[in-house]
Structure 1
Amino acid sequence: MSGIRSNRIRAALITAPLVAALLGAAAPAGAATAHRAASLTCRGEGVDPGAQVRYRTEAVIHAPLRTVWEVQTDVADWPSWQPPVETARRLDDGPLRAGSAFRWTTPVPPNPATPATELVITSTVEQLRPGSCIRWTGPAVGEGLHIDGVHVWTFTRVEDGVLVRTEETHTGPQVDADVPVATALLGQGLEAWLANLKAAAEARAQHGPC
């Protein structure tokens, strides 16, 4: 793959919370097994079964389920604990629920293939079970970039906290052009998101809201 094509794939994959600093890093350890695990579901619906680009990961968060759920579903507060999320706003009011929509943004750095731009992600909650799972879908659009994503989160009480699992798929001409690179970058983004969620929820459980 040419250098220009590689840069375009990398730019296309900077959906929040992919960070510019992650570009060019090695694939996460879980990337090699990303396709083998059964897909996560919420109310019977999962990620895009036809997508070539997919990644799944999980972590135990040492905090009450209510705390983890509140941190994750307070979309407007995402920028306070996810550095790559520049803005996030709900497009409806009240608790997050099926049919809720939100719009969030993250920067895309300049590279030889594309200028610096802002990636705008508009997500719609398709399925939700309070305290248990969320599934949202939506496009991520920037200058010359378009990715369609499906993202599932599940939350399960365990002895020492909450087991959080997440899986996401991407489709689109830029990501489909190089599946290994796209998968590695998607994995880096999900690992970062989960690590940030863990840090934020555990801090809140220990000290209360900042």
Structure 2
Amino acid sequence: MSVTRSRFATRLAALTLSLAAAGGALAVTAAPAGAAPGPAHAGRPDAAVECRGRSTDPDALVRYGTEILIHAPLSTVFRTQTDVERWPSWQDAVLSSERLDSGPLRPGSAFRWTTPVPATPATPATTLTVTSTVQQLRRDDCVRWTGPATGEGIHIDEGTHVWTFTKVKGGTLVRTEETWTGDQAEADVDLSTQALGAGLEIWLKDLKAAAETRTGC
């Protein structure tokens, strides 16, 4: 493994452990590349997660999908998730988030957000910066965005993230799937998938807490 890939692996391992600790040691299982769809926590939901007919990158080796039931109205959950500038108010894993345009979030909207990567004995703490552009959006239904993520010793060429929101008995079912592409991410698919999964699990947990608090649940 090259020095660059070794540093990337170290960064990802630190990020995974930090997120898992924040989520109460959330279990994350990597799915082998090309594996058949299985349980939601196996790296791919049972059914495709799509927004306006578009899903994650079908060729990506690094992917993770999961879902959660939130006891809050669909409109509250969707608004909480898509008000990207307020993410830091309910997600400890998001240090900052800023819109790069104005007005309602819509296809073409872009935003930049950051998440901390803890220090390790071999590397200092750093910040991962993600620049996301909305590709598809349907109000109170779904959103899909893409973009790169960069930081000291870590780079993801393209992340593709899809969210769906469905009104169900008891509240709102939120399903999400994300893929990563790039030489660094694909150098260790299992480790990248673990880091991605840990992040998505804690994100859903925080979204559930924020939306239910706003609803008074």
Cα distance in 2 for residues equivalent to 1:78 and 1:26: 21
- Mean Cα displacement is larger for which, 166-175 or 79-88? 166-175
Q: Contact 2:30 / 2:193 at 8 angstroms: preserved in 1?
A: no
Q: Does 1:182 align with 2:192?
A: yes
AA of the residue aligned to 1:22:
A
Aligned to 2:20: 22
Offset at residue 7 of structure 1 (A): 6.0
Aligned to 1:111: 120
Give the paired residue count. Answer: 204
Deviations 1:78-116 (A, max 9, x none): 001000100001111111111110000112223355432
Counterparts of 1:76-115 in structure 2, within 5 Å, are 76-111=85-120, 114-115=123-124
CA distance change for structure 1 residues 109 and 76 in 2, over 3 Å: closer, same or farther? same
Counterparts of 1:104-143 in structure 2, within 5 Å, are 104-111=113-120, 114-143=123-152
Cα distance in 1 for residues equivalent to 2:185 and 2:151: 14
CA distance change for structure 1 residues 7 and 22 in 2, over 3 Å: closer, same or farther? farther
From 172, 175, 192, the equivalent of 1:162 is 172
* RMSD value, Cα: 2.7
From 39, 44, 59, the equivalent of 2:53 is 44
Cα distance in 1 for residues equivalent to 2:87 and 2:69: 20
CA distance change for structure 1 residues 183 and 29 in 2, over 3 Å: closer, same or farther? closer
Cα distance in 1 for residues equivalent to 2:215 and 2:27: 31
TM-score, L = length of structure 1: 0.86
